[in-house]
Amino acid sequence: MPGHVVTPIGEVRSPRADLSDDFWGRVEAEIALDPAQFGPDALYGLADFSHVEVLFLMHRVDPAKVETGARHPRERQDWPLVGIFAQRGKGRPNRIGLSRAEIVRVEGRSLYVRGLDAIDGTPVLDIKPWMAEFAPRGATRQPGWVAELMADYYKDQA
């Protein structure tokens, strides 16, 4: 397969720089668009939405630690062995993250969000407004271990 080059559109500015997995609920971050590529009009109309989906590069994951097979999520032996594409771990092929975040405000080339699970300096690959019509159609399902894994993910830090 041929490779493709993707150029970041901006970067995350966040008070959070650690790679820990939980307590993202109250984290407010700025997505600053690259002024060499975009003017403020790139974000026009985005404030009319409540949420965005953000694609980003998990740049601090060592490429040598990328997983391509199965593992126990968060290395918990009490959770099942599942393939990398059956989980949302950081050490995934291409190190691409996807997160939905609440829009706080838009100012010029900056989008301020809450609940984005990307650390300070993270390269942003794309931003898309969340539209209800893109939500899953019909009922959804997931294994029981997922609710346990996600229990503290978006909680406010204690």
Q: Encode pLDDT of 126-153 as tens digits.
A: 999 999 998 888 998 877 777 766 655 5
- Per-residue pLDDT reduced to its tens digit, 78-135: 888 889 888 877 888 899 999 899 999 999 999 999 888 888 999 999 999 999 998 8
At 147, which helix (H) or strand (E)?
Answer: helix 144-150
pTM: 0.85
Q: Rounded to an integer, what distance in angstroms lies between the CA atom of residue 158 and that of residue 155?
A: 8
Q: Which domains, from first to last, does the chain contain? A: 10-132+140-150 (2.40.30.70)
